Amino acid sequence: MTRVAAVGDLHAGPDSVGTIRSRFEDLPQRADVLLLAGDLTRRGTEEEGRIVAGELRDLGVPVAAVLGNHDHHSGQEDRIREHLEAAGVRVLEREGLVLDIDGTRLGVAGTKGFGGGFAGASASAFGEDQMKAFIGHTETLAAGLEEALTNLRADVRIALLHYAPVDATLAGERLEIFPFLGSYLLAEAIDRAGADLVIHGHAHRGKEKGVTAGGITVRNVAETVIRHAYKVYRVGDGVRPGPEAEAARLAE
Amino acid sequence: MTGEQPEYVVARIQQALATDPRTGELELDVRIAGGRVFLAGAVATSERREAVEQVVRETAPELDVHNELSVTEDLPPGPSESVS
């Protein structure tokens, strides 16, 4: 069993010094890993990236993150990523990471994701170049996530996103903005690749719990939704760690 | 400014809250009722709560502002849940 702490939408700024670090004070007693579901900064400036990286350094457990739309606002997402990685935070964009946690291999594949809407009410790559670029970005990230998830050699696999893969966790948001909150293409990719849990943020007024069409548990961990510093999800309760589990998985 | 429809004022306030360097807030609830602006939702710190109110006052100086924003900086850790 692995304890996965998760929260999204920290939105760090110059006034966040000390406040983010303090919320993770006893994290090693409560969780084995921390996942951050994007929007680590407020306006996506390098300075905010430096501040949040400082807050997340040496928390006592491995930390992995995806970036969000706020982290892209100032065009300094590459510098934000560098500050985070220098502080030991793994930033995942169509990439995977496998952590050995007491003999269980925990795999995390992440992408920011993007919008478009949900099955039956989704934008299409049709018409103007701007529409094609919009949906094309989502398609690219969904395909990259699927590949990263598929390639994880792990006992437990988690997909980490900023944008929502299902509309169930958006309930409470205005219906008109659903296409800007997520895309079914992300869920479709995750269902094809398989996963044990999907974590996302971004939908501040949504709700925590949802499920993909393929039956994979989805949790929206935007801090205004979970109303806590972070939530802890216990995954792999039934998993037998080690080489036997891997052999069983490969034999499927 | 006089006679501007409330829904356009709301849209202008939301645009200002998103793009103003002091705020960068996209997710707040802004309503105009009875000639007052009602602000709801959550921001990370008390400084930001004040900054949002200030930007709204500058954007719609003719309206009173009712600030109902909550602050998330002192949230405690949440309970754990078994998911698989």
Higher-pLDDT residue of B27, A60? A60
pLDDT over 80 (residue A242) = no
B45 in contact with chain A, both atoms CB, cutoff 8 A: yes
Selecting from B48, B75, B84 the residue whose C-beta is nearest the C-beta of A223 gives: B75
Per-residue pLDDT, B2: 56
A42 in contact with chain B, both atoms CB, cutoff 8 A: yes
With beta carbons under 8 A apart, name residues in chain A contacting B16: none
Task: Encode pLDDT of A79-94 as tens digits.
Answer: 999 999 999 999 999 9
B44 in contact with chain A, both atoms CB, cutoff 8 A: yes
* Nearest-Cα residue of chain B relative to residue A157: B84
Per-residue pLDDT, B67: 97
Q: Best mutation site among A4, A17, A23 for testing chain B: the one with the most B CBs within 10 Å?
A: A23
Across the range A132-149, mean pLDDT stands at 98
Give A209: exposed, middle or buried? Use CB within 10 Å, 0-12, 13-18, 19+: middle
Q: How confident is the model at residue A250 (pLDDT cuts 50, 70, 90)?
A: low
Per-residue pLDDT, A247: 58
R_g over Cα of chain A: 17
A26 in contact with chain B, both atoms CB, cutoff 8 A: yes
Per-residue pLDDT, B69: 96
Q: Which residue ranges make up each domain of chain A? A: 2-251
A238 in contact with chain B, both atoms CB, cutoff 8 A: yes
pLDDT over 70 (residue B26) = yes
With beta carbons under 8 A apart, name residues in chain B contacting A3: 80
How far apart are alpha carbons A143 and B69 in whole angstroms? Answer: 39
Across the range B32-61, mean pLDDT stands at 95
- Report the largest interatomic distance among the alpha carbons of chain A, rounded to a whole angstrom: 53
Across the range A211-234, mean pLDDT stands at 97
pLDDT over 90 (residue B33) = yes
CA nearest A161: which of A134, A183, A131? A183
ipTM of the shown complex? 0.86
pLDDT over 90 (residue A106) = yes
Q: Is the dihedral of CA A116, A120, A121, A123 positive or negative?
A: positive
pLDDT over 60 (residue A240) = no
Q: How many CB atoms lie within 10 A of CB A125?
A: 13
Per-residue pLDDT, A203: 95
Q: Does domain A2-251 have CATH number 3.60.21.10?
A: yes
- The answer to whether the Cβ–Cβ distance between A13 and B78 falls below 8 Å is no
Q: Which residue ranges make up each domain of chain B? A: 1-28
A209 in contact with chain B, both atoms CB, cutoff 8 A: no
Q: How confident is the model at residue A119 (pLDDT cuts 50, 70, 90)?
A: confident
- Reduced 3-state DSSP string for chain B: CCCCCHHHHHHHHHHHHHHCCCCCCCCCEEEEECCEEEEECEECCHHHHHHHHHHHHHHCCCCEEEECCEECCCCCCCCEEECC
Selecting from B26, B42, B47 the residue whose C-beta is nearest the C-beta of A15 gives: B47
Per-residue pLDDT, B73: 81
- The answer to whether the Cβ–Cβ distance between A229 and B76 falls below 8 Å is yes
Residue with tokens 């200030």: B54
Q: Model's pTM, two decimal places?
A: 0.92
Task: Encode pLDDT of A22-38 as tens digits.
Answer: 999 999 999 999 999 99
B47 in contact with chain A, both atoms CB, cutoff 8 A: yes
| DSSP-assigned beta bridge partners for residue B32 | B37
